[in-house]
Amino acid sequence: MAKGVQHFKKDGTLHTGGTHKMPNGELHSGKTHGKTSVRLYHLKDLTGKAKEKAMAYGYGPKKKKKPTKRGK
């Protein structure tokens, strides 16, 4: 698991708690697996609406600022 990479639930909700890796390689919520554990995704793996919700948290591609013209 890469440090500094945010993880999201399927609906685009940011996950901030513990995580664990399943035997099949999937990342799930919670330090250990339990009834409330859900699969977690990276931003690039989310669907359209979920990605929009995730980007509302301030994650995702940054818009480049246009260079300003400096007067003489």
Calculate the CA 44 to chain-centre distance: 8
Task: Say which residues have a Cβ less than 8 Å from residue 31's Cβ, sequence separation at least 6.
Answer: 18, 19, 20
What the block records as the tokens of 53 is 């919700």
pLDDT exceeds 90 at position 7: yes
Domain ranges of the chain: 7-55
Q: How confident is the model at residue 4 (pLDDT cuts 50, 70, 90)?
A: confident
CA pair distance 52, 69, nearest whole angstrom:
32
Average pLDDT score over residue span 25-33: 95
Per-residue CA distances from 7 to 61, 67, 70 (Å): 15, 33, 41
CA pair distance 50, 9, nearest whole angstrom:
9
Per-residue pLDDT tens digits for 13-22: 999 999 999 9
